[in-house]
């Protein structure tokens, strides 16, 4: 049976077109459960990328840290095992030391203040530095304001003195608690509830949705609203993926990332309000700090350390100048 040249040419063109339309399968990671603001915003990102690229990118979203914890996910992103992820500022600051300033206490007055910087020149500088470290930032998410919650009532800074306070394994948080004349206890987040129940710690600190979703409010009903740390998180793609994208696809990913960041911030504010309502109904008592200046003065040695470090001085000066 003879096949005409014209037939072969048509077949070849059809195969090429089919290959061009083949989906690129990607994997996205985040540590939060289904329904959480981060997870919903990433879901929106996935859908927007698929729509904008005509379905050429099929991104499978893995929530709840299904592929591993955050340190492992960072390495997986850099190696190309995952392509998209949402990270807190902690692991990002390990890659780019200048970002450590974002974890300093009382640096931002609120999330709006933080995003004025991150959606502007400072965010551009952080993004450029992160790109050189293997992370391409598509959007800045809200990590929320952190406050203290304790088993016993806390009405002022003096009440925290001598208390055992659970903190992350972070030099900034450990030093912050020490400067408040309390005792930092570094524990994995999953162990906090039991530690509160057993009296191993008197207090912990975190954002309001975490306080509510973990059930910590059932034991530590006294919340001292300090918003001592307001920090961002970031939606990133690996530079390995980014470098493979066409100019048009890069634009599609960037647009989807920016839209997802706006959505996440809106969802976050709603989640905070819902957590406040739910915990108040369950008996949590909220005492808002009236004047943060005594706490800020206590942080002098911590600020001085970062001001003396050339890798963080410029970023710190940029933030406190506005």
Asked if residue 17 is part of any domain, the answer here is: no
Provide φ and ψ at 164, rounded to 5°: -85, 115
Cβ contacts of 192 within 8 Å, gap of 6 or more: 166, 201, 204, 214, 216
211-221 pLDDT tens trace: 998 999 999 99
Q: 318 pLDDT exceeds 90? A: no
Q: How buried is residue 224: exposed, middle or buried, by Cβ count under 10 Å (0-12/13-18/19+)?
A: buried
Residue 177 counted as domain residue: yes
Residue 20 has what pLDDT? 43
Lookup: tokens for 297 = 């003065």
Q: Where would I find the beta strands (DSSP E) of the chain?
A: 24-29, 57-62, 84-88, 135-150, 164-167, 183-186, 203-206, 222-238, 285-288
User: Where residue 301 falls among pLDDT bands split at 50, 70, 90?
Assistant: very high
Say if 10 falls within a structural domain: no
pTM (predicted TM-score) = 0.85
pLDDT of residue 8: 45
Residues 255, 133 contacting (CB under 8 angstroms): no
Nearest-CA neighbor of 264 among 209, 227, 188, 216? Answer: 209
Comparing 84-98, 135-149, 158-172, which segment has the lowest mean pLDDT?
Answer: 84-98
In this structure, are residues 134 and 239 in contact, taking their beta carbons and an 8 Å threshold?
yes
Lowest mean pLDDT segment, chosen from 8-17, 122-131, 188-197, 200-209? 8-17
CA–CA separation, 289 vs 227, rounded Å? 9
The pLDDT tens digits of the residues spanning 63-80 come to 998 998 888 899 999 999
* pLDDT at 19 (0 to 100): 42
Flag whether 69 is in a domain: yes
Domain containing 292: what range?
23-320
Kindly list the distances between the CA atom of residue 182 and the CA atoms of 127, 211, 297, in Å, as whole numbers in the listed order: 35, 20, 16
Q: Which of 258, 267, 259, 227 is nearest to 111 (CA)?
A: 227
* Region 172-200 average pLDDT: 94
> Between 12 and 42, whose confidence is greater?
42
pLDDT of residue 322: 63
Domain membership flag for residue 11: no
Query: Does residue 244 fall inside a structural domain?
Result: yes
Per-residue pLDDT tens over the stretch 87-142: 988 778 878 888 888 889 999 999 999 999 999 999 999 999 999 999 999 999 99
pLDDT tens digits, 24-40: 999 999 988 899 999 99
Helix residue spans in 96-225 (DSSP H): 111-118, 121-132, 157-160, 171-179, 192-197, 208-213
DSSP letter for each residue of 46-75: HHHHHHHTTT-EEEEEE-TTTT--HHHHHH
CATH number at residue 74: 3.40.190.170
> Do the domain assignments include residue 37?
yes
Average pLDDT, the chain: 90
Report yes or no on 269 lying in a domain: yes
How many domains does the chain divide into? 1
DSSP conformation class of 190: G
Q: Is the pLDDT of residue 291 over 70?
A: yes
């Amino acid at each position: 049976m003879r096949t005409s040249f014209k037939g072969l040419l048509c077949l070849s063109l059809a195969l090429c077109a089919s290959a061009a339309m083949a989906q690129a399968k990607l994997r996205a990671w985040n540590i939060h459960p289904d329904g959480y603001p981060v997870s919903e915003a990433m879901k929106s990102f996935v859908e927007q990328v698929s729509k904008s690229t005509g379905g050429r990118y099929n991104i499978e979203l893995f929530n709840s840290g299904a592929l591993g914890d955050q340190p492992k996910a960072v390495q997986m992103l850099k190696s190309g095992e995952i392509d998209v992820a949402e990270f807190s500022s902690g692991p990002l600051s390990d890659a780019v030391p200048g970002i450590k300033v974002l974890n300093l206490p009382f640096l931002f007055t609120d999330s709006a203040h933080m995003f004025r910087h991150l959606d502007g020149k400072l965010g551009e500088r952080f993004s450029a530095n992160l790109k050189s470290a293997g992370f391409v930032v598509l959007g800045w998410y809200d990590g929320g304001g952190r406050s203290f919650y304790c088993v016993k009532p806390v009405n002022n800074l003096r009440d925290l003195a001598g208390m055992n306070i659970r903190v992350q394994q972070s030099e900034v948080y450990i030093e912050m608690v020490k400067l408040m004349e309390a005792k930092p206890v570094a524990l994995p987040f999953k162990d906090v509830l039991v530690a509160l129940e057993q009296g191993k710690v008197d207090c912990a600190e975190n954002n309001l949705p975490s306080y509510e979703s973990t059930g910590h409010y059932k034991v530590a009903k006294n919340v001292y609203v300090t918003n001592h740390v307001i920090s961002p998180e970031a939606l990133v793609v690996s530079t390995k993926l980014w470098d493979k994208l066409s100019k048009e696809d890069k634009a599609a990913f960037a647009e989807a990332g920016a839209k997802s960041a706006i959505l996440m911030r809106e969802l976050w504010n709603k989640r905070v309000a819902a957590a406040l309502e739910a915990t108040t109904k369950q008996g949590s008592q909220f005492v808002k700090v009236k004047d943060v200046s005594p706490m800020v003065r206590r942080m002098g040695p911590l600020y001085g350390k970062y001001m003396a470090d050339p890798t963080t001085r410029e970023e710190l000066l940029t933030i406190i100048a506005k």
